[in-house]
């Protein structure tokens, strides 16, 4: 599948991975609607990309609005070739500190937001005889460590949704890809911290000198994975070892996770002491 002349919609495109996906899509010759709950941020992504990008405010928790955004692309262009369900939020910190509102918010954005995108785009793609759905999951959808428990729950749901849908979508010529990155250099690394959680230290696994993977590189990798009709994209490549370890030795992985959370709690306690 080449991207020239294809029509794409990206959610959460005002920042990070979504913005990088918009840049990569336009560079590859696609037309893209850059959407975000933050309409100004969507505009900041779209405006440097020229005529082939347009911006729209879209809250993925609003099913009717997601349907309307998909319908708008189809009404204007006749089809929607690529749907990127990318918008996401994170909460970091011990689970007992999360309010029910926070649990519900992450379910609404990270799970229902993707369901709304699938529900709006997939039947349309079946009717038009093809398309591709790309869901931004995470390595947190393939492995499970605490202090981002609510996030892990949502990303496991997205991996399951993507793989299962893929198996029934193939007969309709619709591809489904779950993108499973480890730490990517975006503002998300510093968001959603509760009770002294240090997202950057957590997601980079304590190695603060280690650089996170660039979002633009992930976006280019994602388009290649779409072209090759891959089921899962794990990046950086070094994360494959962790994924394999989780599958082959789940008991050892659990013990490693318990040690990791203990080291994170010590790091958070030290940081609290230093700020007092
Ligand atoms: N950065 C990482 O390390 C990393 C790793 C794995 C997976 N991810 C996933 O990548 C996706 C993009 O995250 P990012 O790192 O670019 O983060 P980001 O915070 O830079 O961007 C997320 C964007 O989503 C938007 N958004 C939030 N709630 C929304 C809603 N209800 N409707 C529409 N837009 C909404 C935000 O305004 C923001 O522009 C997320 O699903 C995230 O879970 C990120």
Q: Is the minimum distance from the CB of 162 to ligand 1 under 6 angstroms?
A: no
CA of 276 to the centre of ligand 1 (A): 32
The predicted pLDDT at position 211 comes to 84
The predicted pLDDT at position 276 comes to 63
The predicted pLDDT at position 275 comes to 75
- Decide if 260 is inside a domain: yes
Domain count, the chain: 1
Q: Is the minimum distance from the CB of 38 to ligand 1 under 6 angstroms?
A: yes
- Whole domain around residue 245: which residue ranges? 7-275
Q: Is the minimum distance from the CB of 187 to ligand 1 under 6 angstroms?
A: yes
The predicted pLDDT at position 157 comes to 99
Query: Of all protein residues, whose CA lies closest to atom 20 belonging to ligand 1?
Result: 16
pLDDT band at 257 (very low <50, low <70, confident <90, very high): very high
Q: Is the minimum distance from the CB of 189 to ligand 1 under 6 angstroms?
A: yes
Query: Of all protein residues, whose CA lies closest to atom 8 belonging to ligand 1?
Result: 138
pLDDT band at 1 (very low <50, low <70, confident <90, very high): low
| Ligand 1 closest atom vs CA 18 | 16
Asked if 202 is an active-site residue, the reply is no
Q: How many angstroms separate the CA atoms of 257 and 225, rounded?
A: 29
| Ligand 1 closest atom vs CA 20 | 16
- Decide if 2 is inside a domain: no
Q: Is the minimum distance from the CB of 136 to ligand 1 under 6 angstroms?
A: yes
* Rounded average pLDDT over 28-32: 98
- Among 14, 16, 69, which residue has the most ligand 1 atoms within 8 Å of its CB, making it the best to mutate? 16
* Rounded average pLDDT over 138-151: 97
- Decide if 1 is inside a domain: no
Q: Is the minimum distance from the CB of 89 to ligand 1 under 6 angstroms?
A: yes
pLDDT band at 51 (very low <50, low <70, confident <90, very high): very high
pLDDT band at 206 (very low <50, low <70, confident <90, very high): low
* Rounded average pLDDT over 42-65: 98
* Rounded average pLDDT over 159-179: 98
- Decide if 114 is inside a domain: yes
* Portion of the chain with pLDDT greater than 90, in percent: 93
In this prediction the pTM is 0.97
- Decide if 157 is inside a domain: yes
| Ligand 1 closest atom vs CA 110 | 41
Q: Is the minimum distance from the CB of 85 to ligand 1 under 6 angstroms?
A: no
Q: In terms of pLDDT, which residue wins out, 271 or 251?
A: 251
Query: Of all protein residues, whose CA lies closest to atom 40 belonging to ligand 1?
Result: 88
Q: Are 31 and 10 in contact (CB under 8 A)?
A: no
CA of 23 to the centre of ligand 1 (A): 16
- Decide if 239 is inside a domain: yes
pLDDT band at 272 (very low <50, low <70, confident <90, very high): confident
> In this predicted structure, which of 1-5, 45-49, 149-153 has the lowest mean pLDDT?
1-5
pLDDT band at 205 (very low <50, low <70, confident <90, very high): confident
The predicted pLDDT at position 208 comes to 52
Nearest Cα neighbor of 148 from 207, 208, 88 is 88
> What's the CATH number where 152 sits?
3.40.50.720
């Amino acid at each position: 599948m080449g991207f020239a002349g294809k029509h794409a919609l990206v959610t959460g495109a005002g920042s990070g991975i979504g913005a990088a996906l918009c840049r990569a899509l336009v560079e590859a010759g696609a037309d893209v609607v850059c959407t975000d709950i933050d309409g100004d941020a969507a505009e900041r992504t779209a405006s440097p990309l020229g005529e082939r990008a347009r911006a729209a405010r879209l809250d993925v928790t609003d099913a009717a609005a997601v349907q309307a955004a998909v319908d708008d692309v189809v009404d204007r262009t006749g089809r929607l070739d690529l749907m990127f369900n990318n918008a996401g939020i994170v909460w970091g910190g011990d689970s007992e500190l999360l309010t029910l509102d926070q649990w519900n918010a992450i379910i609404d954005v990270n799970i229902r937001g993707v369901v709304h995108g699938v529900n709006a785009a997939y039947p349309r793609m079946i009717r038009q005889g093809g398309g591709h759905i790309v869901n931004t999951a995470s390595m947190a959808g393939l492995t499970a460590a605490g202090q981002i428990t609510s996030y892990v729950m949502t990303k496991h749901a997205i991996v399951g949704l993507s793989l299962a849908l893929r198996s029934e979508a193939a007969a309709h010529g619709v591809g489904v890809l779950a993108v499973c990155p480890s730490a990517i250099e975006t503002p998300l690394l510093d968001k959603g911290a509760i009770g002294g959680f240090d997202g950057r230290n957590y997601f980079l696994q304590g190695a603060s000198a280690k650089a996170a993977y660039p979002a633009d590189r992930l976006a280019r990798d994602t388009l290649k994975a779409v072209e090759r009709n891959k089921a899962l994209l794990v990046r950086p490549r070094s994360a494959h070892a962790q994924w394999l370890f989780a599958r082959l030795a789940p008991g050892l992985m659990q013990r490693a996770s318990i040690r990791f959370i203990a080291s994170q709690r010590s790091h958070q306690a030290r940081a609290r002491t230093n700020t007092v």
